[in-house]
Structure 1
Amino acid sequence: MLPNIVTAAALCSGLTGIRFAIAGDWNFAILAVILAGILDGVDGRIARLLNAQSRFGAELDSLADSLSFGMAPALILYMWSLQELPRIGWFAALAFAICCALRLARFNAQIDTDDQPHKSAGFLTGVPAPVGAGLAFLPFYLWKTTDLEIFREPLYVSIWLALIAFLMISNMATLSWGSIRPRRSVRLELIALGGLVFAALLLEPWWTLVGICVVYLALMPYALMRYGKVRRQRREDAAHG
């Protein structure tokens, strides 16, 4: 039950973000969705730690993700910016919510599929739903840090939202935790860096979130190159085998 309780808490957190957005509390709305993302990362690890994985839990997790990272960000961004350009803005919000649902449906359909080249190499297919939600809020992070209204411009926000929606349903390889294997010589430094990032989130949350988004976007070409190297190595092994 514990992993499913955490999943339900993530769902409640994401949907509560909509409630804050209706009240105009943008900071709490965004942070509620981010908290849902943290809880979403915890529930699966708890399930594996307790050996409590189940098909019910997987289905509940996907449903919660669709609402917390698809519908909630779309509605929050629509109320924050996109409603000033109602037609284009609403289509962008719909595209994001639909693409998130399609990504999760593809994930569920492939759970029992053996032929998953990205997964077998330790990569993901497309941008994960929680990461997509975090990236979708990048214009808001920039608006909070700079106070420039250009980052709230509905046309630009619509284009950005549509781009993230495309990345979620794309077939490009993206980094997963399993594909990140730092050398032992730098692990202490990475632990220290993780602690500093957490401290930065407490002191300067919006600048830190901007930095995290920039780093993730910068690593996407690296993921493609690394996956291409894995594919070439596999072809060479198959040819010699």
Structure 2
Amino acid sequence: MDYRRLIPNMCTSSNLVFGMCSILSTYNHNFIWGSIFILLALVADGLDGRTARFFGVASEMGKEMDSLCDLGSFGIAPAFLAWAFVLHNHGILGIVVAIFFAICGMWRLARFNVNASVVHGYFMGLAIPAGGNIVAMTTLLFVQLGIDPMTFGIAYPIVMAFVGWLMVSHVHYPNFKGDGAEPIYLLSKVVALVMFLAILWLGHASLLAALAVAIFSTYAVLGIVNSLLASFAKKG
């Protein structure tokens, strides 16, 4: 047995294991663990590629496994979590938004795999792990703060659908690899910082959950603002 391949494959499999644990927890109306397991899936997802490159065993098979696991953990699991938590109260709209989010996740992964050799220096569209964790960590924060999302009316399904759209959009997100292919403007950093601090202040009663929400949400907004500024700069 080649243990060099076993370790990355175990990390990849752990991603899906945590995704399934999230779905089962959500089914039992344990929304806290339903959310935490999606975050743990992100940790496993980050380890598989790094371990594969470290041992020199990266392969096309591993990439396909990773994408399939990502769809389960960051597309289907968050959609089911959101539906069980609040979207079921919105009837047909809630069902449509949950399905739309999962489909956008699938589309995002397929496009990423096809464009992997073409798109360099940035991510086209919000990465599905970030999108899934925006849903999961927001759910965790709401539960821990005792906030009922229904008090916001249809804002929740609208925002969730928007996050789904971000995944398949052409918004450029910096990959933070230092290759300079996607410059980050100062205004983008300021907006992100203000939003980050605002979320921490509003959710300080559950600081760890608020921190997670702040990280993923500000990254989503950073890409939007930065892409708009880049577009204006090109026109100017």
The TM-score by the shorter chain falls in which range?
0.7 to 0.9
Checking the alignment, whether the CA contact within 8 Å between 2:75 and 2:132 is kept in structure 1 is: yes
Instruction: Determine the C-alpha separation between the residues in 2 that align with 1:56 and 1:134.
Output: 25
TM-score with structure 2 setting the length: 0.78
Aligned length in residues: 206
User: What letter is aligned with 2:207?
Assistant: E
Q: How does 1:7-86 map to 2 (within 5 A)?
A: 7-86=12-91
Instruction: Determine the C-alpha separation between the residues in 2 that align with 1:143 and 1:34.
Output: 16
Deviations 1:129-180 (A, max 9, x none): 1000111235424423542324675732211110001000001100213148
Unmatched 5+ stretches in structure 2: 181-205
Identity score, percent: 27
TM-score with structure 1 setting the length: 0.76
Instruction: Determine the C-alpha separation between the residues in 2 that align with 1:151 and 1:45.
Output: 40
Change over 3 Å in CA distance of 1:152–1:135 after alignment to 2:
farther
Match for residue 189 of structure 1?
none
Change over 3 Å in CA distance of 1:84–1:222 after alignment to 2:
closer
Instruction: Determine the C-alpha separation between the residues in 1 that align with 2:136 and 2:151.
Output: 11
Checking the alignment, whether the CA contact within 8 Å between 1:175 and 1:223 is kept in structure 2 is: no
Unmatched 5+ stretches in structure 1: 182-202, 233-241
Change over 3 Å in CA distance of 1:25–1:98 after alignment to 2:
same
Match for residue 91 of structure 1?
96
User: What letter is aligned with 1:205?
Assistant: L
* CA-based RMSD: 2.7
- Alpha-carbon offset, residue 108 of structure 1: 1.6
Q: How does 1:1-241 map to 2 (within 5 A)?
A: 1=5, 2-111=7-116, 113=117, 115-116=118-119, 119=120, 122-137=121-136, 139-150=138-149, 155-179=154-178, 204-221=207-224, 223-224=226-227
Change over 3 Å in CA distance of 1:68–1:54 after alignment to 2:
same
Q: Which runs of 4+ in 1 moved over 4 A?
A: 151-154, 225-229
The structure number with the bigger radius of gyration is 1
